[in-house]
Amino acid sequence: MLPKAESSDHISAWASSSPRATGLPKAVSSEFIAGGRVGHSKPTALSKPEPEELSIFSRSLGLPSPSDSCDALLGCSGRVPVDGSFCITVVTWNVGTAMPPNDVTSLLHLNTGETNDVDMIAIGLQEVNSKINKRLKDALFTDQWSELFMDALSPFHFVLVSTVRMQGVILLVFAKYYHLPFLQDIQTDCTRTGLGGYWGNKGGVSIRLSIFGHMVCFLNCHLPAHLEKAEQRKEDFATILHMQQFEGHAASGILDHDLVFWFGDLNFRIESLDIRFVKYAIDSNILSQLWEKDQLNIAKSTWSVLSGFQEGPLNFPPTFKFDVGTNKYDSSAKKRKPAWTDRILWKIKSPSVGLGAGGRRPSRGVLSVSQLCYCSHMEYTISDHKPVAAIFAVQFASKADKPPVEIYVADEWSRPEQAVVRYKMAAGFHRSSWDWIGLYRVGFRHPKDYVSYVWARTDDGERCLEKQMCAQVMFSEEALPKEKGEYILGYYSNTSSSIAGVTEPFQDEPHQPPRLQYLPEGGEQPPGAGQP
């Protein structure tokens, strides 16, 4: 099964649903292409010159200069990926207990061609409906938000890697299927900070994993609201960093990871300035006038807990608070001041820190990160928050390039006797008698979304692992799909709760309806079959 959350609120079951419609308009947002990127690629456009004092102000905050950003209001379509980089999209959205929209095409940048360049997508949600009757339904079926994102992303070859939920806070991580064997040591954790740590309406959930041998952590937080609660936000963030711990010595704490993405409804507000001036600055597109009064920007230079965290410039309007169903800021009696509550930051572990937990040095050399895009999406109006997305190009100093399990299969299964699978496990691979090989239709949604499977034989596997030889299993004619199409094979490791090897797509001719085979003693199905 996929890694279990350290919480009873973990999503435990999945149900299928039909694909959603596509075609929402492109995001109205600003694009940021970072200067000093690794590699030889250049930005396709430069922004208009900014006032000198604005550049000085940005440098004083540790932000990239505004001259490094593109002044395009059509999202990130002009971005230039870094050659050889691993591209990660991060999305955060406080959905305000609303029902999911029919379409998240523009939010995930699926209608721009950019998704072909993106390797991984992390989605953090806050305030998902968590009333008792809704949570009971979600315990029996997959929650509608997770279904929405799986449906939207699977046609683009993204597979759900892991997910964790704490009441209304959800985190999902997707990756292209061919990266799955290189995503290992997947763990989740959560920390409640609401009502003194007893309630999960506030707090943080995390998914950590090794990507090509580098330890990366995604942390989605929902921190306390209101202008005067800045110190409480600081204390809660420090509590989350302290409480979250992972097994093993690779990176036991969040800040032990080589790269951390911290995002969510962080709830920081704009101090001092009158609401009329804030709205004037927004309407006049002089957002820089608001930056120095943003609580998070202030905290970056005063809070030690934020040391090393970086963020792109806020070249998009404040994302809170809107009248639901509109792009109009709060017109209620409360008239809350607009603020950038929804943020995405990152931190690279410095090599100068020296040895980490367990005497560990930063894994496989130094990595670098370039932020290609940081934008809000005004077209979504179901919540009083606007979603925010960022795209990063991560350059790994080195990459683990050999999967734990290599699988060999014919290019086409036109006859039942061709359905032979040979596989070879790397030295040191921890196999289990519950490992299995799944046959997946191209476009599958999660590791348990298989058409059929065979068990990886214990006797063959043990012997072949010792001699570094190929083991072999075979799908019976009855276990093969009857629909012609493109399929891949994946070796599922029960020990690591992840896919440890995949094949390239191959053709399969029509066969009889699937039937399970190679059951171990007792005849059980794989643990959690049908559920990630």
Does any domain span residue 292? yes
Residue 41 has pLDDT above 50, yes or no: no
What percent of the chain is modeled with pLDDT above 70?
A: 71
Tokens of 481: 């799909």
Tokens of 130: 């968590």
Under a CB-based contact definition with an 8 Å cutoff, are residues 419 and 413 in contact? Answer: yes
Pick the closest to residue 349 from 361, 358, 339, 341 (CA basis). 361
Q: Are residues 304 and 414 in the same domain?
A: no
Does any domain span residue 51? no
Does any domain span residue 100? yes
Under a CB-based contact definition with an 8 Å cutoff, are residues 445 and 474 in contact? Answer: no
The whole-angstrom separation of Cα 306 and Cα 190 is 20
Residue 50 has pLDDT above 80, yes or no: no
At 13 the pLDDT is 34
Does any domain span residue 442? yes
At 83 the pLDDT is 75
The whole-angstrom separation of Cα 439 and Cα 488 is 6
Does any domain span residue 26? no
At 81 the pLDDT is 60
User: What's the whole-number mean pLDDT along residues 460-483?
Assistant: 78
Residue 457 has pLDDT above 50, yes or no: yes
Q: Are residues 383 and 444 in the same domain?
A: no
Q: Tokens 């999406």 identify what position?
A: 377
Q: Are residues 383 and 424 in the same domain?
A: no
Instruction: Quick: pLDDT tens for 81-129.
Output: 667 899 999 999 999 999 999 999 999 988 765 556 899 999 999 999 9
Q: Are residues 243 and 381 in the same domain?
A: yes
The whole-angstrom separation of Cα 94 and Cα 265 is 6
Under a CB-based contact definition with an 8 Å cutoff, are residues 384 and 330 in contact? Answer: yes
Q: Are residues 332 and 189 in the same domain?
A: yes
At 250 the pLDDT is 85
At 131 the pLDDT is 73
Q: Are residues 123 and 240 in the same domain?
A: yes
Distant-in-sequence, close-in-space partners of 436: CB < 8 Å, separation ≥ 6: 453, 454, 455, 456, 491, 492, 494, 526
Q: Are residues 305 and 448 in the same domain?
A: no
Instruction: Quick: pLDDT tens for 295-352.
Output: 999 999 899 999 999 999 999 999 999 999 999 999 999 999 999 999 999 999 987 5
pLDDT-based confidence at residue 138 (cuts at 50, 70, 90): low
The whole-angstrom separation of Cα 232 and Cα 397 is 38
Does any domain span residue 213? yes
Distant-in-sequence, close-in-space partners of 420: CB < 8 Å, separation ≥ 6: 409, 410, 472, 473, 474
Q: Are residues 240 and 103 in the same domain?
A: yes
User: What's the whole-number mean pLDDT along residues 395-401?
Assistant: 87
Residue 27 has pLDDT above 50, yes or no: no
At 366 the pLDDT is 76
Name the average pLDDT for the chain: 79
Residue 8 has pLDDT above 90, yes or no: no
Q: Tokens 């406080």 identify what position?
A: 94
pLDDT-based confidence at residue 459 (cuts at 50, 70, 90): low
Q: Are residues 342 and 388 in the same domain?
A: yes
At 365 the pLDDT is 60
Under a CB-based contact definition with an 8 Å cutoff, are residues 102 and 147 in contact? Answer: no
Q: Are residues 164 and 210 in the same domain?
A: yes
Highest mean pLDDT among 44-48, 69-73, 74-78, 503-507: 503-507
Phi, psi of 281 (to 5 degrees): -65, -40
Pick the closest to residue 531 from 441, 442, 434, 446 (CA basis). 446
Q: Are residues 383 and 435 in the same domain?
A: no
Using DSSP, state whether 292 is helix, strand or coil: coil
Question: Which H or E run contains 458?
Answer: helix 458-467
Residue 18 has pLDDT above 90, yes or no: no
Q: Which long-range contacts (CB under 8 A, 24 or more apart) does 520-525 make?
A: 520/433, 520/434, 520/455, 520/458
What percent of the chain is modeled with pLDDT above 90?
A: 60
Instruction: Quick: pLDDT tens for 143-192.
Output: 899 999 999 999 999 999 999 999 999 999 999 999 999 999 999 999 99
- DSSP E strands in 2-83: the ranges are 31-32, 69-70
At 175 the pLDDT is 98
Distant-in-sequence, close-in-space partners of 481: CB < 8 Å, separation ≥ 6: 439, 441, 451, 452, 487, 508, 510, 511, 514
Overall size of the chain counted in residues: 532
Strand pairing category for 183-194 and 368-376: unpaired
Does any domain span residue 377? yes
Which range has the worst mean pLDDT, 52-61, 409-418, 434-443? 52-61
Instruction: Quick: pLDDT tens for 425-442.
Output: 998 898 899 999 999 999
Total domain count, the chain: 2
At 150 the pLDDT is 97
The whole-angstrom separation of Cα 523 and Cα 75 is 53
Phi, psi of 266 (to 5 degrees): -85, -10
Instruction: Quick: pLDDT tens for 265-292.
Output: 999 999 999 999 999 999 999 999 999 9
Q: Which residue has the higher pLDDT, 46 or 321?
A: 321
Phi, psi of 422 (to 5 degrees): -110, 140
Pick the closest to residue 96 from 282, 318, 294, 341 (CA basis). 341
Q: Are residues 218 and 279 in the same domain?
A: yes
Pick the closest to residue 379 from 98, 77, 28, 145 (CA basis). 28
Residue 198 has pLDDT above 80, yes or no: no
Q: Give the CATH number for residue 285.
A: 3.60.10.10
Does any domain span residue 29? no
Residue 515 has pLDDT above 90, yes or no: no
Q: Give the CATH number for residue 487.
A: 2.60.40.2840
The whole-angstrom separation of Cα 344 and Cα 109 is 17
Give the residue numbers spanning the domain of 488. 405-508
